[in-house]
Amino acid sequence: MKKSWVALLALAMAMQAETIKSIRFEGLMHLSPTLAKEMLGLHEGQELDMKKIDEAIKKFYSQGYFKDIWVDDTFGNLTFHFKEKPLISQIEVLGYLENKKEELPDILGLKKGDIYDERAIARAKARIIAQARSQGYFDTVVEVDTEKVGENGVKVTFVVNKGEKIYIDELTLCGAKLFDKDDIEDVIANRERNKYLGWMIGFDSGELKLDQLQYDSARIKNLYMTKGYLDAQVSDPFLRVDFDIYKAKLRYHILEGRQYKVSKVEIKLLEPIVEKKVLLEDLRLEPGEVFNIDKMRKDMEKIRKKIADLGYAYVRIVPDFYKDEKNHTVVVKYLINPGQKVYIHDVIISGNQRTLDRVIRREIYLAPGDVYSYTDLVDSRNALKRTGFFSDVKIEERRVSENQMDLLVNVKEMPTGSIMIGGGYSSYEGFLVNAAISDKNMFGSGINGSFMVDFSSKSLRFNVGLVNPHIFDSDYSLGVNLYSSKFEYYDYTEDRKGGSVTVGKKLTRYLHSSLTYAYENNKMTDVNYDNYYFLPGRYTKSSLIPALTFDNTDDYYVPRHGVAASASLEYAGVGGDEKFVKTYLRAGYYYGLEDLIDYDLILRVKGRVGYVYDRGYLPIFEKFYLGGISTLRGYQSSSLAPKDSQGRLIGGKKMFSTSLEASIPLLKASNMRLTFFFDYGGIGDSKFTEITRMGTGAAIEWISPMGPIQLVFARPLNDKKGDRTSSFEFSVGTRF
């Protein structure tokens, strides 16, 4: 900077009424000469003006690109010289944060390719120290080393000593009578260290979280307001730190006041767009109850959704309290300004590299010109996630005018196709080889295709299927499936060939109906026993299968809310030899607790019920069998069923299984979860409980680059002699 002012002083003495003959720029990289000339404000033929040159240099410096600027004048020929700041070609952090490379750009506020600027480096140092403080580290020291790379590059290395953690060894709550310390510590971030188990995960470590300290008073106040103590007062935190031993004492002063009950709930609508009694329905905060601030917030959200479903997207709800301090009651009043009815201006889709726009649009229930609806917006997001094509779906509302908005639909695609080649060894089948190709979203069209083949010395299985869920983007679907399998069992050899055609229709957003015609040719040979259950010969099956499917879950692979259920009835006997009627019901209920407990815990309840009625000929392979990852974990697949006098499985006519599951995050960054389960099931010929078994265990669920993978570690609870148990199973491609 000195150089430029010396040059300007020399110019000032030499340029009294000198005319500019030419203007040149040297050393420019980030600015074009045309733009630099516009910023300069001088042109050839004008008289030299020191003020304009001074202002131009300030403008150039304000861009942040330049380390130095100076000007030469040779008889009216001006040359502006620029020395640009170097570019950051590499960023490295040593010590604290060095293992968080993906998060570094956000933490530092710097990235590769940015201009090296001392102020930006100072801000990055401050951000590192703030990050360390948020995790309880104090006296953090950050040193910065720079190394020249190439002509105009620099490598920046942050060497971080994260300092020491401060632990709260004493928390004092002066005046707290209603709640004990444990109740209050449940809602605040800064807690007293457990004197004996503070070092163990799951117990209070006592680490000071300075960035959260300012909010803890409000959290305590909120806790009192959930119990009706509207006059409760909580002081700012008093923190005393001993930096010699890095321990702190934390104190709050609390005035609890008296408890209030709700005397009345009122609604004032600035525009009469809906009857007040409709908005008052289903509210959780009712007259006579103790006031609860959490219930009030949930009631406000219910009201907001009801009004937003009428098209008033920008509705504003302001709560107010009228306290009767003598009787300790409160009137809760909601002032509602609905604003104008909002219409959809445009639906803009982004993030889809493979999936066609029309495949996404057909799952969105709002289109340009439609009246806004909050329910339609949520259902659209959930419908897109139920396709199984996307790992994340975000729909942003962008206001265009007082009565119009754009919907920005941003999807993050996930792998929908897989190629698998594997093998194994079985004491009975010998070496096994299997291969499979599948894609739920072929060529981004939404069509589901699959091909599978298994081969061993005892078996050969083949299956190919194709399903279009929206023929010509309509509500109708069409699916075709062909299969062939040959297996040499201990007592007989079975050769099955068949196929099916399914036509379906979407009845509502959540309900789908279908009708399947299935034909199968089954040949049984090499039967070792002349037994009713194992008769040699050729048999055919011709059946119709009507079915209903309901699904309002919010995700395909890892649903957190909703119900997925299906019911089917197979009528075999539309020609052919096999004659039976089989019903099968399957349902799953999913409930995520994150909104309630601020932790991503998912509870699941699943159930299956099957019944088959023999109308003349019911082969054993059409009966039910329990065991395996889809029915009863801890037992080998299809290993539980009634047996004949020879001890052979002959299947059951009645079957049920239930599962209770609790799923928690294991590795969030890798989309991996840990699930604990308990299974109970029964099967029989004349009743459901002829054979009952239980199993328990844990499963690792992973949305991997190859698709969803489930690893199950199970243990039977009441297995009997002769049961074929299983301690490990896995599945690929199924929802959890």
Inter-residue contact 296 to 321 (CB < 8 Å) = no
Q: Which residues lie closer than 8 Å to 429 by C-beta, 6 or more apart?
A: 456, 457, 458, 459
Regarding predicted confidence, which is higher, 531 or 724?
Answer: 724
Domain 87-161 shares a fold with domain 489-732: no
pLDDT for the residue numbered 228 = 93
| Half-sphere CA count of 103, side-chain side, radius 13 A | 10
Distance CA 435, CA 452 (A): 6
pLDDT for the residue numbered 1 = 46
Regarding predicted confidence, which is higher, 69 or 10?
Answer: 69
- Work out whether the CA dihedral 162, 163, 167, 172 comes out positive or negative: negative
- Work out whether the CA dihedral 516, 517, 523, 528 comes out positive or negative: positive
Inter-residue contact 380 to 356 (CB < 8 Å) = no
Q: How far is CA 569 from CA 37, 442, 572, 584, in A?
A: 80, 30, 10, 7
Q: Which two tokens stand for residue 20?
A: 């500019």
Give the position of tokens 């004492």: 249
The CATH code of domain 166-255 reads 3.10.20.310
Inter-residue contact 455 to 486 (CB < 8 Å) = no
pLDDT at residue 190 is higher than 70: yes
Q: 50-62 and 2-14 are packed helices; what angle lies between their axes, rounded to 10 degrees?
A: 160
The CATH code of domain 2-84 reads 3.10.20.310
Distance CA 366, CA 342 (A): 12
Task: Provide the CATH topology of domain 343-413.
Answer: Ubiquitin-like (UB roll) (3.10.20)
Phi, psi of 303 (to 5 degrees): -65, -45
Phi, psi of 280 (to 5 degrees): -80, -15
Q: Which two tokens stand for residue 231?
A: 């006059």
Q: 374-386 and 293-308 are packed helices; what angle lies between their axes, rounded to 10 degrees?
A: 90
Angle, CA 400 vertex, CA 396 and CA 405 arms, to 5°: 50
Which amino acid, 292? N
Query: Which helix H or strand E contains 513, and what residues bound it?
Result: strand 511-525
pLDDT at residue 100 is higher than 80: no
pLDDT at residue 441 is higher than 70: yes
Q: What average pLDDT does this structure show over 661-669?
A: 86
Query: Which helix H or strand E contains 211, and what residues bound it?
Result: helix 210-225
Identify the band that residue 502 occupies on the pLDDT scale cut at 50, 70 and 90.
very high
Identify the band that residue 734 occupies on the pLDDT scale cut at 50, 70 and 90.
low
| Helix and strand numbers, DSSP H then E, in the chain | 12, 34
Q: How far is CA 137 from CA 108, 169, 211, 236, 239, in A?
A: 17, 16, 11, 22, 16
Phi, psi of 277 (to 5 degrees): -65, -25
Q: Which two tokens stand for residue 436?
A: 């499979």
What are the residue ranges spanned by the domains of the chain? 2-84, 87-161, 166-255, 261-337, 343-413, 489-732
For the chain, how big is the Rg over CA atoms in Å? 36
pLDDT at residue 499 is higher than 90: yes
Inter-residue contact 492 to 526 (CB < 8 Å) = yes
Residues in the chain: 736
Angle, CA 610 vertex, CA 604 and CA 616 arms, to 5°: 170
Q: What average pLDDT does this structure show over 522-548?
A: 78
Phi, psi of 194 (to 5 degrees): -65, 120
pLDDT for the residue numbered 15 = 45
Q: What are the tens digits of pLDDT across the range 212-244? A: 888 999 999 999 999 999 999 999 999 998 888
- The three-state secondary structure class of 222 is helix
- Work out whether the CA dihedral 640, 646, 651, 653 comes out positive or negative: negative
C-alpha torsion angle, residues 310, 592, 556, 414 (rounded to 10): 100
pTM value is 0.68
pLDDT for the residue numbered 328 = 92
**Chain mean pLDDT for the chain:** 85
Region of poorest pLDDT, from 135-149, 420-434, 713-727:
420-434
pLDDT at residue 526 is higher than 80: no
In what order do the strands lie in the sheet containing 329-337? 261-269, 329-337, 316-324
Give the position of tokens 């730190």: 241
Show contacts of 322-326: CB within 8 Å, 24+ apart.
Answer: 323/230, 323/260, 324/263, 325/231
Q: What are the tens digits of pLDDT across the range 257-309? A: 999 999 999 999 998 899 988 998 888 899 999 999 999 999 999 999 999 99
Q: Which two tokens stand for residue 419?
A: 């190629």
Tell me which residue of 555, 550, 564, 361 sits closest to 444, measured CA to CA. 361
The CATH code of domain 489-732 reads 2.40.160.50
Regarding predicted confidence, which is higher, 281 or 426?
Answer: 281
Q: How far apart are the first and last CA of the chain?
A: 64
CATH class of 87-161: alpha beta
3-class SS string, 8-60: HHHHHHHCCCCECCEEEEECCCCCCHHHHHHHHCCCCCCECCHHHHHHHHHHH
Which amino acid, 223? L
Region of poorest pLDDT, from 137-151, 161-175, 318-332, 564-578:
137-151
CATH of region 261-337, choose from 3.30.930.10, 1.10.1060.10, 3.10.20.310, 3.30.1020.10 = 3.10.20.310
3-class SS string, 371-435: ECCHHHHHHHHHHHHHCCCEEEEEEEEEEEECCEEEEEEEEEECCCEEEEEEEEEECCCEEEEEE
Q: Spell out the alpha helix ranges (H) of 264-368.
A: 276-280, 293-308, 357-361
Q: What are the tens digits of pLDDT across the range 397-413? A: 999 988 999 999 999 98
Inter-residue contact 128 to 142 (CB < 8 Å) = yes
Angle, CA 233 vertex, CA 231 and CA 237 arms, to 5°: 165
Phi, psi of 384 (to 5 degrees): -65, -40
Q: Which residues lie closer than 8 Å to 660 by C-beta, 6 or more apart?
A: 604, 605, 677, 678
Give whichever of 186-190, 371-375, 643-647 has the largest mean pLDDT: 371-375
- The three-state secondary structure class of 278 is helix
C-alpha torsion angle, residues 574, 575, 576, 579 (rounded to 10): 50
Q: Which two tokens stand for residue 577?
A: 């030899």
Inter-residue contact 283 to 301 (CB < 8 Å) = no
| Half-sphere CA count of 714, side-chain side, radius 13 A | 34
Burial of 13 (0-12, 13-18, 19+ CB in 10 A): exposed
Q: What are the tens digits of pLDDT across the range 1-27? A: 444 444 544 545 444 457 877 888 777
Distance CA 377, CA 511 (A): 18
Distance CA 534, CA 493 (A): 10
Phi, psi of 673 (to 5 degrees): -125, 160
pLDDT at residue 529 is higher than 70: no
Q: What average pLDDT does this structure show over 171-177?
A: 92
Q: What percent of the chain has pLDDT over 90?
A: 44
Strand partners, 519: 499, 542
Q: Which residues lie closer than 8 Å to 362 by C-beta, 6 or more apart?
A: 470, 473
Q: How far is CA 639 from CA 124, 238, 504, 631, in A?
A: 62, 65, 33, 11
Tell me which residue of 11, 95, 103, 99 sits closest to 51, measured CA to CA. 11
